[in-house]
């Protein structure tokens, strides 16, 4: 199915709901929301949430195919910038060096994300403190930042989900969840149109 054909299917579904909605939406808007819908579905499937009629085996295979692996990337000051095409970081490994009793140890270890941006909270809390065998990292300003108070993080590699490519009229859409993609696209469009209509209504004075 091409992007143009997908747009036609979405317009038919909009027309079934309310023909006035169909007249308000353009093809380029449908394709924009199709990409947003695809992003939403990818994130939903990634956490193991599936519809009752969805073929879970097919989706497991699809989810496995879209997981990407970065190369080994050197760190500067225990951090590295992320490319703009990353939708979600799934797992992070980091090469750590530390010295204990005069002996230096170096190895790849799994890192864990912490949801606090306050270094003092990470270091002061025994449940979030960063250790050489399980370093903590934060996602900040499109960077991975490792908390390494007593050791060094040399390089990293990570698994990630890639942001979907732009969908055009010529794009080929061949996903194992086309019906879900159509329905989610319709839902996003209706939410956007309803919001637009509410914003265009005149304010009512409460005085």
Q: Are residues 126 and 73 in the same domain?
A: yes
Q: Are residues 81 and 139 in the same domain?
A: yes
Q: How far apart are CA 136 and CA 138, in angstroms?
A: 7
Q: Are residues 129 and 96 in the same domain?
A: yes
Would you say residue 61 lies in a domain? Answer: no
Residue 40 structural domain: 3-54+177-200
pTM of the predicted model as reported, rounded to 2 decimal places: 0.79
Q: Are residues 125 and 147 in the same domain?
A: yes
Q: Are residues 20 and 106 in the same domain?
A: no
Would you say residue 63 lies in a domain? Answer: no
Q: Which pLDDT does position 120 carry in this prediction?
A: 54
pLDDT classification of 205: cutoffs 50, 70, 90: very low
Does 206 have pLDDT greater than 70?
no
Number of structural domains the chain divides into: 2
Would you say residue 136 lies in a domain? Answer: yes
Task: Report pLDDT digits (tens) over 21-72.
Answer: 667 789 999 999 999 999 999 998 888 777 666 677 777 778 778 899 999 9
């Amino acid at each position: 199915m091409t992007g143009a054909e997908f747009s036609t299917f979405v317009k038919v579904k909009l027309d079934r709901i309310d023909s006035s909605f169909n007249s308000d939406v353009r093809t380029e808007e449908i394709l924009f929301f199709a990409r947003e819908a695809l992003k939403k579905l990818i994130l939903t499937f990634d956490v193991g949430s599936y519809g009752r009629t969805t073929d879970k085996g097919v989706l497991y295979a699809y989810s496995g195919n879209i997981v990407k692996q970065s190369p080994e990337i050197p760190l500067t000051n225990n951090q590295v910038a992320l490319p703009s095409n990353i939708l979600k970081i799934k797992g992070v490994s980091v090469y750590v060096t530390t010295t204990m009793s005069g002996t230096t140890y170096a190895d790849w270890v799994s890192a864990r994300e912490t949801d606090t941006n306050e270094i003092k909270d990470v270091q002061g809390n025994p449940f979030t403190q960063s250790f050489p065998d399980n370093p903590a990292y934060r996602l900040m300003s499109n960077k991975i930042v490792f908390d390494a108070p007593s050791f060094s993080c040399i390089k990293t590699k990570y698994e990630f989900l890639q942001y979907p490519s732009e969908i055009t009229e010529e794009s080929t859409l061949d996903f194992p969840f086309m019906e879900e993609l159509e329905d989610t696209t319709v839902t996003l469009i209706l939410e956007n149109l309803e919001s637009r209509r509410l914003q265009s209504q005149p304010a009512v004075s409460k005085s």
